[in-house]
Amino acid sequence: MTNTALAAQQLTEFTLTLRQRGHAPMQITHLIQQLLLGFLAQEIGILPKQFFTQLLDVGQQRPLVVTQQLEQALNTLAISDVLSAATGLPLTLADIQLLRKLAELKWATIEPSIFGTLFERSLNSKQRQQLGAHYTDAAAIMRIVNPVVLEPLRAEWNAIKTAVTQTKSRQAAQALFTTLLERLRNFRILDPACGSGNFLFLALKG
């Protein structure tokens, strides 16, 4: 099982557990997204290495205070505009142990699609209908991104390469290349879903 699949499976179980306790779906989703970004932040260096791991180690010994400590840690990120303000939910020892295992995953390798998957799974069918919330998978996204974004840009790049090879002027070739770079620098993409950002991520990745 891949890191992404393992993380999605375990976080889905965590989400269902929190829902069974009566917590609001949007509050659960917000907390989980905070945790996901927190795990990633400790791995890529925004937070000190093992920051969340060590906090959860302490939490296993003192479950009653870990919620407050997690909230404070996530709000430290919110101050730096990486995350919005966190809202803590009471966690059991089993919750903390699960999060401790999740903290050990290689979060830099996990696909961002997990955000959309978990958001949709946190809502029941009625809530998804009311919010118009639907996770769009990568294949469906690329049916839009390819013809609208990537194929036109690749066509421009091919035209520039042809023009560069045909010109005998180094200065003219450099001007063509600079024009394309400026075009890419100013290129903007609107995410039509306004959701977890998968349209934007796949457009950038492509």
pLDDT 10s per residue in the chain (206 long)?
A: 677 778 778 888 888 888 888 888 778 877 877 787 778 778 878 778 888 888 888 888 887 777 777 777 777 666 544 455 556 688 888 988 888 888 888 877 777 666 655 555 555 555 554 444 455 667 777 888 889 889 999 999 999 988 888 888 888 888 888 988 998 888 888 776 655 566 776 777 76
Same domain, 118 and 46: yes
Look up the domain containing 77 and give its range: 3-131
**77 and 58 fall within a common domain:** yes
Q: Are 121 and 178 in contact (CB under 8 A)?
A: no
Give me the number of domains the chain comprises.
Answer: 2
86 and 156 part of one domain: no
Where a domain ends, among 105, 131, 157? 131
Instruction: Using the 3D structure, point to which of 77, 97, 131 is the last residue of a domain.
Output: 131
Distance between CA atoms of 125 and 140, rounded to whole angstroms? 21
Do 127 and 37 fall into the same domain? Answer: yes
Whole-angstrom Cα Rg for the chain: 22
CA 8 to chain centroid, in Å, comes to 12
Indicate if 22 and 121 belong to the same structural domain.
Answer: yes
Of 131, 149, 168, the position where a domain reaches its end is 131
Same domain, 84 and 123: yes
Note whether 144 and 112 are same-domain residues.
no
Q: Are residues 118 and 81 in the same domain?
A: yes
164 and 109 inside one domain: no
The residues, ordered by sequence, that sit 6+ positions from 101 with a Cβ below 8 Å of its Cβ are 10
For residue 49, give both structure tokens: 């290495």
